[in-house]
Amino acid sequence: MTAPQPLIAGNWKMNGLSDSLTEAEAIAEGAAQAKARVAICPPALLIPEMSRRLAGSKVAVGGQDAHWEDAGAHTGDISAPMLADAGARMVILGHSERRSGHCETDHVVADKVRASLRAGLEPIVCVGESLEERKSGRALAVVTGQVRGSLPAELAGHAFAVAYEPCWAIGTGLTPTTAEIEEMHRAIRATLVEMFGATAEDVPILYGGSVKPSNAAEILHAAEVGGALVGGASLKARDFLAIVQAA
């Protein structure tokens, strides 16, 4: 059995103005021969133009969040059908910055996943423990609990990815050891198989949190790591492409 293609997704967060689109074009050019699947999730306002410029390239465009309803009175929010209409094919959901900064619970994340499936988007569902949870030995229980709570049964038969992002590793330069990453990814895999059966063996489990060119190869070749969700290092084509090539 051949291993599924890894996925390297860039999460630009609240970074990037229209002049950053040239960086995305450079990424698409450099990734043309990549073995991995590649995606960029820019701020929502850049999605329509980025999708136009990257059309026909290897790089998919994704959103960073979507509302759980398809339309309605939700000032300031963006729905999954809007993302799809703008050219997005994927969407990051349940990122720790959404969970902590916008009070998103597992229940809310699961509803957002359902909305993304209705819109035909591939969700990348994020989970990860806090430093305090890791220090107190609860990391495995917390993260597998998030997997159970954030992934609805409707995902069966759909393309989706899970991203393990320890909160304390995001934007800090800190990373878990390879053994810690493998232990967590194995626990997530076992939970996915329990929930969705053998087909979940192929669901990519991405690692995220301070992935950079210097640590990408080791992380990406760890057991059960099916790609990376990259924040800061995805903003510069040179760094992001080095990570893409390491997959």
Contact 158/117 with Cβ under 8 angstroms?
Answer: yes
The answer to whether residue 95 is catalytic is yes
State how far the Cα of 201 lies from the Cα of 27, in Å rounded to an integer: 30
Q: Looking at 104, 122, 165, 224, which residue is catalytic? A: 165
Nearer to ligand PGA, 150 or 210 (CB): 210
Q: C-beta of 220: minimal distance to ligand PGA in Å? A: 14
Which single residue is written with the structure tokens 């430093």? Answer: 131
Q: Looking at 95, 97, 129, 224, which residue is catalytic? A: 95
Q: C-beta of 73: minimal distance to ligand PGA in Å? A: 30
Nearer to ligand PGA, 81 or 96 (CB): 96
Nearer to ligand PGA, 116 or 210 (CB): 210
Which single residue is written with the structure tokens 């597998």? Answer: 144
Which single residue is written with the structure tokens 């890791």? Answer: 134
Contact 79/66 with Cβ under 8 angstroms?
Answer: yes
State how far the Cα of 104 lies from the Cα of 100, in Å rounded to an integer: 7
Q: C-beta of 114: minimal distance to ligand PGA in Å? A: 22
Nearer to ligand PGA, 191 or 215 (CB): 215
Q: By the criterion CB under 6 A, which residues form the site for ligand PGA? A: 11, 165, 170-171, 208-211, 229-233
Q: C-beta of 171: minimal distance to ligand PGA in Å? A: 4
Amino acid making up residue 124:
I
Q: Which residue is nearest to ligand PGA (CB)?
A: 231
State how far the Cα of 168 lies from the Cα of 129, in Å rounded to an integer: 8
Contact 242/234 with Cβ under 8 angstroms?
Answer: no
Which positions are catalytic?
95, 165
